Amino acid sequence: MQGLTTGLCSDHAHSSVTPPAFLSSNYFYDTFGERPTFDYGRGGNPTRALLADALTTLEAGTGAVVTSSGMSAIMVVLQAFVPIGGHVIAPHDCYGGTWRILDTWATAGRLTVDWVDETDLDALRTALESPTDLLLVETPSNPLLRITDIAAAAELAHSSKGERTVVAVDNTFCSPILQQPLNLGADLVIASDTKFLNGHSDVIGGSVVAAVPEDVDLMAFHANMLGVTASPLDSWLTLRGLRTLRVRMKAHCTNAARMVEILSSHAAVAAVHWPGLPDHPGHDLAARQQKDFGSLLSFELAGGLPAVEAFMTGVEGFILAESLGGVESLVCHPATMTHAAMSQEARDAAGVNDSMIRMSPGIDPVDDLATCLNEALDRAAAV
């Protein structure tokens, strides 16, 4: 797949197959007054540029800005496209970190935000009756795996009131291997590169890929100004991680399907959230706009918080930790971990309850994971 091999054999000075990491913070001028391609590392770096090229190809865009975290990628989008007092529409069930920055900036008067169930196109259409600067979409959503129709949402936004409504899709859960939002009408694709793109839980990074060059230039200006561009080493590690993205995603998705099969038939489980299930409200839509149903899933235990504690205590095969998309298998409790920044009212509105566990199956042998999951569920059932 194009993009996964970006940078290979590009070192003509020494003929290395894999590109080196250029760690220099500054670059010399051959001639006074003639600026070199790279001059200062915050604004540009050869290694970061290779990663941007790779992500641009994978997402079918025109350019990318690579940032120091997924949240800094969102901040760059907000700074670039939402003026002071501007209006944002965001998913009511978004990632807790996204909720935190929007809620904090709204409270401070920096912007206004409407929290909308974006799976409901009528609700989205109503929200867009107010002039809107940015429509932020997260699909599948975190942690309930709800699916938003990207093409329909983009069409509504682009035909709404106001000069321009920018449509940005957080594609972290799918990666470009499973979903390409720009091809569905989005203007921007946001990712936490920390997750599947890097895939090894040793980088904090983010990126935004744009459909038009003008948006790339605007975001690059703000990323440089804010000082949130990615480091050369993090860029190199992420570029290395991309080499195996396709095969990792296949293994992640295969393992997730097996975990869902176990969860769906166990007495300890009250509900399973995964778009690959035929009765999932977004199943048909996910089948159309994604190439697979993804590897993230969440489930609710019938025994409530005591059952969650029993499940997590001594769980083997799965690591109790935040984040996702690494080769290791992770579980977390959104209400007290990834979404702890949200108010109780916001969590209730989003459907993030104390009984919920989010799972990110890694690429471990699936039979080993199945054994560990059954043992943990049996403990939960005994509560």
Instruction: Work out the number of other CB atoms within 10 angstroms of the CB of residue 365.
Output: 10
Cα–Cα distance for residue pair 125/122, rounded to 1 Å: 5
Q: Which of 121-125, 161-165, 227-231, 309-313 shows the lowest mean pLDDT across its residues?
A: 161-165
In this predicted structure, what is the pLDDT of residue 282? 98
CATH 3.90.1150.10 given to domain 245-381: yes
Instruction: List residues bridging with 167 in a β-sheet.
Output: 135
Strand, coil or helix: what is 268? coil
The angle at the Cα of 99, spanning 97 to 102, to the nearest 5 degrees, equals: 110
Strand, coil or helix: what is 56? helix
Mean pLDDT over 70-96 rounds to 98
Asked about 29 being catalytic, the answer comes back as no
Asked about 170 being catalytic, the answer comes back as yes
Cα–Cα distance for residue pair 249/194, rounded to 1 Å: 15
pLDDT tens figures, 143-201: 999 999 999 999 999 999 778 999 999 999 999 999 999 999 999 999 999 999 999 99
State residue 330 phi and psi, 5-degree precision.
-125, 150
Residues of the chain with CATH 3.40.640.10: 46-242
Tell me: pLDDT of 96 over 80: yes
**Could you tell me which of 61, 81, 84, 85 has the C-alpha nearest to residue 73?**
81
Contact at 8 Å (CB) between 171 and 181?
yes
Topology, domain 46-242: Aspartate Aminotransferase; domain 2 (3.40.640)
Distances (CA, A) of 117 to 13, 204, 210, 296, 346: 53, 29, 25, 20, 12
Asked about 195 being catalytic, the answer comes back as yes
User: Where does the pLDDT of residue 303 fall: very low under 50, low under 70, confident under 90, or very high at 90 and above?
Assistant: very high
Q: DSSP string spanning 31-44?
A: STT---S--BTTT-
**Could you tell me which of 43, 62, 53 has the C-alpha nearest to residue 230?**
43
Which burial class, exposed, middle or buried, applies to 274 when counting CB atoms under 10 A from its CB (0-12, 13-18, 19+)? buried
Strand, coil or helix: what is 159? coil
* Percentage of residues of the chain with pLDDT beyond 90: 93
**Could you tell me which of 237, 267, 252, 226 has the C-alpha nearest to residue 327?**
252
Tell me: pLDDT of 14 over 80: no
In this predicted structure, what is the pLDDT of residue 281? 98
Contact at 8 Å (CB) between 149 and 185?
no
Instruction: Work out the number of other CB atoms within 10 angstroms of the CB of residue 312.
Output: 17
Tell me: pLDDT of 268 over 90: yes
pLDDT tens figures, 317-353: 999 999 999 999 999 999 999 999 999 999 999 999 9
Out of 170, 193, 234, 292, pick the active-site residue. 170
In this predicted structure, what is the pLDDT of residue 228? 99
**Could you tell me which of 67, 74, 68 has the C-alpha nearest to residue 88?**
74
What distance lies between CA 209 and its chain's CA centroid?
A: 13
- Six token digits for residue 260: 């869902």
Out of 146, 195, 347, 379, pick the active-site residue. 195
What distance lies between CA 12 and its chain's CA centroid?
A: 34
Instruction: Work out the number of other CB atoms within 10 angstroms of the CB of residue 37.
Output: 8
Contact at 8 Å (CB) between 109 and 85?
yes
* Percentage of residues of the chain with pLDDT beyond 70: 100
**Could you tell me which of 325, 354, 319 has the C-alpha nearest to residue 340?**
354
Tell me: pLDDT of 11 over 90: no
Global pTM value = 0.96
Mean pLDDT over 206-216 rounds to 99
Residues of the chain with CATH 3.90.1150.10: 245-381
Strand, coil or helix: what is 360? strand
Out of 48, 93, 95, 240, pick the active-site residue. 95
Out of 27, 42, 250, 378, pick the active-site residue. 42
**Could you tell me which of 149, 125, 124, 151 has the C-alpha nearest to residue 139?**
149
In this predicted structure, what is the pLDDT of residue 4? 84
Tell me: pLDDT of 275 over 70: yes
Cβ neighbours for 60, distance < 8 A, ≥ 6 positions apart = 176, 180, 182, 183
The mean pLDDT of the chain is 97
In this predicted structure, what is the pLDDT of residue 1? 58
Asked about 42 being catalytic, the answer comes back as yes
Cα–Cα distance for residue pair 7/18, rounded to 1 Å: 7
The residue assigned the tokens 């298998």 is 329
Contact at 8 Å (CB) between 183 and 209?
no
Distances (CA, A) of 92 to 142, 176, 206, 308: 10, 24, 22, 24
- Six token digits for residue 206: 């983010």
